[in-house]
Amino acid sequence: MSNTRTMGISVTDVDTTQLLPLGFEYHEPASGDDKGAKVWIYIENAESSTSLIAGTVVGRDGSTQEVKGILCPTSETTARIVGVAQHTIAAGSFGFVMKRGIGSVLIDTGVSANAGLISGNGTAGRADAGTALTSPTFAYSLAAISTGDVGTCYINCTGA
């Protein structure tokens, strides 16, 4: 199934011009891969000089009420996480990040399979394993992922 929709752009399109309202969500139906549906949210990369690369955990820019994304600060509440970049979005550009579904996440410190993920403790824009069953998580790993690697995870962000 194509991810180009009646909205006029694809979820992989990145542009220096805003093409949709910030915070616009696209619900991609489940396809023949049996991995379920995906939800994408349209943001502006508010970083002044840093690209959001594939796997980057994206936090909401706290200096505005608009849905602008930044590298999620370390040890941040999951309520601030809006999604995870699945492709590069250059600084100052607009594009979609994954809010819910199976995708890739950049890991700060290695995690085991089925680990609940929280915002990174050491590097902004990365994820770490939660320290307890009660840790507020935004995703969980589907396999073991080494330090600094991008791995497959189920993402379920509530922020926006």
Residue-wise pLDDT for 36-81, tens only, equals 899 999 999 999 999 999 999 999 998 889 899 999 999 888 888 9
Q: How many CB atoms lie within 10 A of CB 17?
A: 6
Distance in angstroms (rounded) separating the CA atoms of residues 124 and 93: 19
Q: Where are the domains of the chain?
A: 25-156
Q: Using an 8 Å Cβ cutoff, are 118 and 108 in contact?
A: no
Query: With bands split at pLDDT 50, 70 and 90, how would you rate the model's confidence at 96?
Result: very high
pLDDT mean over 85-111: 97
- Among the listed residues 58, 53, 51, the one whose alpha carbon sits nearest the alpha carbon of residue 23: 58
In the chain, the N- to C-terminal Cα span, in Å, equals 26
